Amino acid sequence: GDSVTQMEGPVTLSEEAFLTINCTYTATGYPSLFWYVQYPGEGLQLLLKATKADDKGSNKGFEATYRKETTSFHLEKGSVQVSDSAVYFCALHRGGKSTFGDGTTLTVKP
């Protein structure tokens, strides 16, 4: 079946540091790929998405590129802020259902 593996956390960075959270997936066909973010006490929110190979999703300074050859969708941000502290989930959607990674907790210190 489909699966998503993402970088284990927690990740702690200083403000303005570069962020990478790795995500790889296993799925047949051509799934859509997503990053969601969850702030404490809230549900998940869509951060960015990509629907086909080589697409780049971007939002709020975050980027991720759909790499079919490496089955990856790594999340990056050039300069993180304290307000980016949250849990980040990589996910794929195929056949009417989504599959989520286990989440990576990011803490950004001033």
Verify binding: residue 100, another protein, rule CB under 8 A.
Answer: yes
User: How many residues comprise the chain?
Assistant: 110
According to DSSP, the residues that pair with 104 across neighbouring strands are: 88
* 3-class SS string, 82-109: HHHCEEEEEEEEECCEEEECCCEEEEEE
- Contacts with another protein in 36-75 (CB under 8 A)? 36, 42-46, 49, 51
Verify binding: residue 25, another protein, rule CB under 8 A.
Answer: no
Stretch that binds another protein, among 10-18, 67-75, 77-85, 101-109 (CB under 8 A): 101-109
Verify binding: residue 103, another protein, rule CB under 8 A.
Answer: yes
